[in-house]
Amino acid sequence: MRRIRECEESLVEPINKGEVRTPCHLYSGQEAVAAGILACFKAKDNVFGTHRSHGHFLAKGGTMRQILAEIFCRETGCAKGRGGSMHLVDPEKGMLGAAPIVGGTISLALGAALAAHIRGNKAVSAAFFGDGATGEGAIYESLNFAALHKLPMLFVCENNLYATHMPIRACRNNDCIARIAEPFNIKTFRIDGNDVLEVLKAAEEAVALCRAGKGPVFIECLTYRLRGHVGPDDAIQGIHTDIRPAEELSAWREKDPIVRFEKYLLAGQLLSLKELAAIKRKVQAEVADALAFARRSPRPAPRDLEKYVCK
Partner 1 sequence: MSANRRLSYSLAINEALHQCMAADKDVFLIGQGVKSPWYVGNTAQGLLKRFGEKRVIDTPVSENAMTGAAVGAAIAGMRAVIEHPRVDFMLYAIDPIINEAANWHYMSGGRSNCPVVIWGIINRGGEQAAQHSQALHAMFAHIPGLKVVMPSTPYDAKGLMVAAIRDNNPVVFLDDRWLYRDEEAVPTKIFSVPIGKAAVRRRGKDLTIVACSYMARESVKAAAELAKQGVDAEVIDLRSVKPLDKAAILRSVKKTGRLLIADGGWKSFGISAEICAVVAEAGVKLKRPPVRLCLPDCPAPASMSLEKVYYKHCADIVKSTQKLLK
Residues at the interface with partner 1 (CB under 8 A): 46, 48, 77-83, 87, 89-91, 96-97, 99, 101, 104-112, 114-118, 125, 137-138, 141-142, 144-145, 148, 307-311
Which backbone phi and psi does 43 adopt, to 5 degrees?
A: -60, -35
Which backbone phi and psi does 132 adopt, to 5 degrees?
A: -60, -35
For partner 1, the closer CB: 83 or 257: 83
For partner 1, the closer CB: 107 or 194: 107
Count of alpha carbons within 13 Å of 285, Cβ hemisphere only? 6
**Which residues have C-beta within 8 Å of that of residue 49, sequence separation ≥ 6?**
56, 57, 88, 95, 97, 98, 99, 105, 128
**Which residues have C-beta within 8 Å of that of residue 221, sequence separation ≥ 6?**
30, 32, 33, 156, 157, 158, 159, 191, 192, 193, 199
Q: Which amino acid is at 155?
A: F
For partner 1, the closer CB: 140 or 264: 140
For partner 1, the closer CB: 67 or 78: 78
Rounded to whole angstroms, how far apart are CA atoms 33 and 39? Answer: 10
For partner 1, the closer CB: 100 or 232: 100
For partner 1, the closer CB: 8 or 70: 70
Sign of the alpha-carbon dihedral angle for 198, 201, 203, 209? negative
Starting at the edge strand that comes first in sequence, how are the strands of the sheet with 153-159 ordered?
A: 95-98, 46-49, 125-130, 153-159, 217-222, 187-192
For partner 1, the closer CB: 114 or 209: 114
Closest CA to 122 of 5, 25, 44, 201: 44
User: Minimum Å distance from CB 105 to partner 1?
Assistant: 8
For partner 1, the closer CB: 101 or 243: 101
172-176, long-range: CB within 8 Å, 24+ apart, which pairs? 172/131, 172/134, 172/135, 176/220
Q: Could you count the other beta carbons within 10 Å of the beta carbon of residue 21? A: 14
CA distances to 101, 156, 169, 256 from 138, rounded to whole Å, are 12, 15, 21, 32
User: Minimum Å distance from CB 114 to partner 1?
Assistant: 5
Beta bridge partners, 95, equal: 47, 90
User: Minimum Å distance from CB 151 to partner 1?
Assistant: 9
